[in-house]
């Protein structure tokens, strides 16, 4: 079965890459720094986005594309409540966002007015890694209660990262998590990866992450 599947998957990925290149062209033309935010379900993608909005309001104009496998607007509603434009994409059960979905989402956002676009991918540590969306940076949120062995078990997603956020560090006293073991696994897959350890509950580390966004957005505008 997998023998038959490979050519099909390659064709899909090649079509995806063409549209991803067009998405990237639009981000560059409008000077919108675009981030593909990935994570397991419940690692805190929406919480990180809300903290990012709170920290950047008045500094950057931010938009969000929310990917969901079902027609629920819980996350998009929370972003809109926070005062930023958001588009919800229902993948219809699909396990990842792809470049055509982003293309259709961009049609509903005032891209020319935005400094920063955050794409919240479907909660999944496997499939999103294979699909280039055309964004400038792949960011993964790892979460302390998920455990310290995730780089070893889901290596593909760690290899393709530009930034790693370690979230829920406030839970470190309550769970078994060996930070050295975790970081050794990450370093083997992606040496020197830019990493921010944060807590959306206490606010710790959020500024370092949002400063990075401000800097990258400024670089794009030069």
The site for a second copy (CB under 8 A) is made up of 1-2, 4-5, 8, 12, 15-16, 40-43, 68-70, 72, 74-75, 92-95, 98, 100, 122-127, 130, 143, 145-147, 149-150, 152-156, 168, 170-171, 174-175
DSSP secondary structure letter of residue 57:
T
Neighbours of 135 (CB within 10 A): 26
The CB-of-129 to a second copy minimum distance in angstroms stands at: 8
Cα gap 51→47, rounded to integer Å? 6
Of 94 and 211, the one with the shorter C-beta distance to a second copy is: 94
Contact 23, 102 (CB under 8 A): yes
The CB-of-33 to a second copy minimum distance in angstroms stands at: 27
The CB-of-219 to a second copy minimum distance in angstroms stands at: 33
Of 152 and 212, the one with the shorter C-beta distance to a second copy is: 152
The CB-of-58 to a second copy minimum distance in angstroms stands at: 27
Tokens representing 28 are 């560059």
The CB-of-15 to a second copy minimum distance in angstroms stands at: 6
Sign of the dihedral through C-alpha 36, 39, 41, 47 = negative
Nearest to 44, CA basis, from 201, 211, 213, 218: 201
Of 127 and 214, the one with the shorter C-beta distance to a second copy is: 127
Tokens representing 2 are 């997998």
Where are any strands of DSSP class E within the chain? Answer: 33-39, 62-68, 86-90, 116-120, 137-143, 163-167, 194-197
Tokens representing 60 are 């950057």
SS3 195: strand
Of 43 and 84, the one with the shorter C-beta distance to a second copy is: 43
Of 21 and 74, the one with the shorter C-beta distance to a second copy is: 74
Contact 89, 68 (CB under 8 A): yes
Of 68 and 115, the one with the shorter C-beta distance to a second copy is: 68
The CB-of-82 to a second copy minimum distance in angstroms stands at: 17
């Amino acid at each position: 079965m997998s023998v038959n599947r490979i050519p099909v998957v390659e064709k899909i990925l090649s079509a995806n890459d063409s549209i991803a290149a067009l998405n990237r062209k639009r981000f560059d033309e409008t000077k919108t720094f675009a981030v593909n935010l990935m994570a397991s379900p419940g690692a805190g993608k929406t919480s990180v986005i809300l903290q990012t909005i709170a920290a950047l309001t008045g500094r950057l104009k931010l938009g969000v594309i929310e990917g969901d496998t079902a027609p629920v607007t819980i996350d998009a509603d929370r972003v809109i409540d926070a005062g930023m434009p958001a588009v919800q994409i229902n993948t219809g059960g699909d396990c990842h966002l792809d470049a055509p979905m982003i293309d259709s989402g961009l049609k509903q956002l005032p891209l020319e007015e935005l400094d920063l676009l955050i794409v919240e991918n479907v909660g999944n540590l496997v499939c999103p890694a294979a699909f280039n969306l055309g964004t400038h940076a792949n960011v993964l949120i790892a979460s302390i209660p998920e455990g310290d062995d995730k780089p070893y078990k889901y290596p593909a997603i760690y290899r393709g990262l530009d930034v790693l956020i370690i979230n829920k560090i406030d839970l470190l006293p309550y769970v078994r998590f060996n930070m050295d073991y975790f970081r050794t696994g990450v370093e083997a897959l992606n040496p020197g990866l830019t990493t921010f350890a944060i807590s959306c509950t206490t606010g710790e580390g959020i500024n370092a992450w949002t400063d990075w966004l401000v800097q990258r957005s400024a670089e794009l505008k030069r």
